[in-house]
Structure 1
């Protein structure tokens, strides 16, 4: 009787298990359908149209297929946007437990790559130029107190270039949200930077320690090597500005000091803040056209924004760079979960992720993509705020798996050469938006399920 009773209970439980699995599969299917629709030109996170449509888009259709923006919050974030919704299918899809669900997730890479080429090429990317978004940016920036969460939501998908300097200062917490205080704070911080340069940089070597002399020498060697394919950075005065910012930052941050790679991180800030004074293409800029006061203001903004950025990633640049090593391990685990064939092939060939991904985390992909795309990528970086380090893992996974099929055909030596010289020289906004869209999708699915990233 006891066995019969147990057998009966198991039979009663079976429909419940099947129902749960069916429900989970359904949620996965819905999420993947949403994202596939997103990648075919409807929207990307942040509600930005990817295509310029000749026919008006039906609002009900947009609501049905567009997952609302959901930023990855950290414990330091506070407040929410009035339009940050969490669709049920995205929340639930972040907790996949069934084999069928995981298989569907693993197949998502091939589904994305199957998007018709003509559709991919027709996408305009998040260029942040449609009038509705411009009006939103203008409205948020004109408020007496900027609501940063609303600004983050909007900035995630791209910032209009002429608004980028002000938005970046706000997102990094360098400029205060209160407009009444902003001008005074910037003036004070710029004077503070000037005092630091006078105290630490504009002194003879006889007043420096041996370590400081060696550090300054290393910086002076690295500056001419920074973004070598952009002629603007070969100007002597530009390199001197980089040197002043880097040396002053390193002296003020002795826990890490100067680490090679930080020189790359200054360049997006330098270009963005110079764009307030110089017009046209970066290739045609001459920093000598600016007064020394303007150059000093740009350097000060670069210094403080670099400081704010690295405050959230301190252990990336301390001894042995443990923060980067930890994220490289997470990257390896995430690739294994999403694209097991690529992971297995790289392991069979004896390729360690540290051999190529360390530079990605160290320089935040600045050396891997065309420089004209860097500021767009950094719009998303800065919109992530304190959650950026963890989100980098998803961006870099998406970046790597762009070449999933190619990687599986290469031996060890070919893999090393390929990953050190990735074919991104002809990339446009479309390819970058595809990387970010996949990263958003996988973050929605995995970030609330850390057990999926456990070894």
Structure 2
């Protein structure tokens, strides 16, 4: 792994990137074990797990209710269950009713998620509008947008303390783009599942920046911005003085987006992928990137 990190820290050469980057990023993020003999079983397990997440968390409540009752009816009377199409009113419990406000009601949860789903949908449609892979009316773009929405919604449901925060779509996009364009067709076919787990691994290194309750803590975004300002002063005091003394620019105005979006809004997309090779190569995670002279280089 040390040699892989060294290679990645220099940026993967453009010609070799499509073939090398998908596997390298999965290794750097800890999604693939260092022992290649374990790759096949690990990928099969993770991809199966993601399928279960989709079945459990993205299914329409009416389908969930129908499956529950069809299963119960099958146990009682196999013949009748095959002909049952609609549930009678007496069979619908309070928790299964679409107007139920019960905490365990799948319908209540479904309607509570409406705002979340709409926000994710809006943000995904705005993701890299200049790149046909993500944007437009083509079948490819729509399919890719659906994959991004699935990942973000599942992540939000599995992480209720964070949920979805605007900008996560931008952090997700490079991962999905790289994995979906893997020359290995089988890997490309499972890009959505692989991206989900790599997204989780990536955010685990700086997810506190997305948690509003921690904004003012030592692990929150304001503390990170303060450290970045201090590092900028250390590496380039002239630039720091120009920004914070002469022009009195609050670091939050330029640093917040750098940190939370991992520079995805500051460069063209091909350069972002190259920069991410370097960011992901750091064994201490994306937060540690701000310990480099990188902030000064960006400002210049």
Normalised by the length of structure 1, the TM-score is: 0.50
Matches within 5 A, 1:87-126: none
Q: What is the count of residue pairs matched by the alignment?
A: 242
In structure 2, what is the equivalent of residue 251 of structure 1?
157
Report the Cα offset of residue 324 of structure 1: 2.5
Report the Cα offset of residue 236 of structure 1: 1.5
Contact 2:179/2:188, CA 8 A, preserved across alignment: no
In structure 1, what is the equivalent of residue 55 of structure 2?
198
Report the Cα offset of residue 393 of structure 1: 4.4
Which one of 122, 130, 139 corresponds to residue 229 of structure 1?
130
Which one of 328, 335, 358 corresponds to residue 232 of structure 2?
335
In structure 1, what is the equivalent of residue 212 of structure 2?
319
Which one of 25, 28, 34 corresponds to residue 168 of structure 1?
25
- Once structures 1 and 2 are overlaid, which stretch shifts more, 210-219 or 296-305? 210-219
Q: Deviation per CA, 1:328-358, whole angstroms, max 9, x where unpaired?
A: 1112112223333332332333310101210
Report the Cα offset of residue 151 of structure 1: 1.6
Residue 276 of structure 1 pairs with residue 182 of structure 2: yes
SS of residue paired to 2:190: helix
Over 3 Å counting, the alpha-carbon distance change for 1:296 and 1:250 in structure 2 is farther
Over 3 Å counting, the alpha-carbon distance change for 1:296 and 1:216 in structure 2 is farther
Larger Rg: 1
Report the Cα offset of residue 294 of structure 1: 6.5
In structure 2, what is the equivalent of residue 144 of structure 1?
none
Aligned mates of 1:168, 1:253 — CA distance in 2: 23
Alignment gaps of 5+ in structure 2: 62-105, 136-140
In structure 2, what is the equivalent of residue 149 of structure 1?
2
Contact 2:167/2:260, CA 8 A, preserved across alignment: yes
Matches within 5 A, 1:278-297: 297=190
Contact 1:274/1:298, CA 8 A, preserved across alignment: yes
Contact 2:152/2:164, CA 8 A, preserved across alignment: yes
Contact 1:331/1:394, CA 8 A, preserved across alignment: no
Aligned mates of 1:267, 1:165 — CA distance in 2: 13
Report the Cα offset of residue 180 of structure 1: 1.7
Over 3 Å counting, the alpha-carbon distance change for 1:249 and 1:387 in structure 2 is closer
Residue 362 of structure 1 pairs with residue 260 of structure 2: yes
Q: Deviation per CA, 1:23-69, whole angstroms, max 9, x where unpaired?
A: xxxxxxxxxxxxxxxxxxxxxxxxxxxxxxxxxxxxxxxxxxxxxxx
Report the Cα offset of residue 320 of structure 1: 4.7
Report the Cα offset of residue 307 of structure 1: 0.6
Which one of 326, 337, 351 corresponds to residue 249 of structure 2?
351
SS of residue paired to 1:337: helix
In structure 2, what is the equivalent of residue 25 of structure 1?
none
Contact 1:227/1:367, CA 8 A, preserved across alignment: no
Which one of 280, 292, 295 corresponds to residue 382 of structure 1?
280
Contact 2:179/2:187, CA 8 A, preserved across alignment: no
SS of residue paired to 1:258: coil
SS of residue paired to 1:228: coil
Aligned mates of 1:325, 1:393 — CA distance in 2: 16
In structure 2, what is the equivalent of residue 158 of structure 1?
11
Report the Cα offset of residue 193 of structure 1: 0.5
- Once structures 1 and 2 are overlaid, which stretch shifts more, 379-388 or 205-214? 205-214
Report the Cα offset of residue 385 of structure 1: 2.5
Aligned mates of 1:176, 1:337 — CA distance in 2: 37
Aligned mates of 1:401, 1:294 — CA distance in 2: 37
Report the Cα offset of residue 213 of structure 1: 2.1
SS of residue paired to 2:282: helix
Matches within 5 A, 1:128-147: none
Report the Cα offset of residue 391 of structure 1: 2.1
Report the Cα offset of residue 397 of structure 1: 1.5
Aligned mates of 1:245, 1:277 — CA distance in 2: 22
Matches within 5 A, 1:299-314: 299-314=192-207
Contact 2:279/2:286, CA 8 A, preserved across alignment: yes
Aligned mates of 2:51, 2:149 — CA distance in 1: 14
Contact 2:58/2:154, CA 8 A, preserved across alignment: yes
Alignment gaps of 5+ in structure 1: 1-147, 279-289, 403-455
Over 3 Å counting, the alpha-carbon distance change for 1:259 and 1:210 in structure 2 is same
Over 3 Å counting, the alpha-carbon distance change for 1:295 and 1:338 in structure 2 is closer
Aligned mates of 1:388, 1:336 — CA distance in 2: 20
Aligned mates of 1:248, 1:214 — CA distance in 2: 15
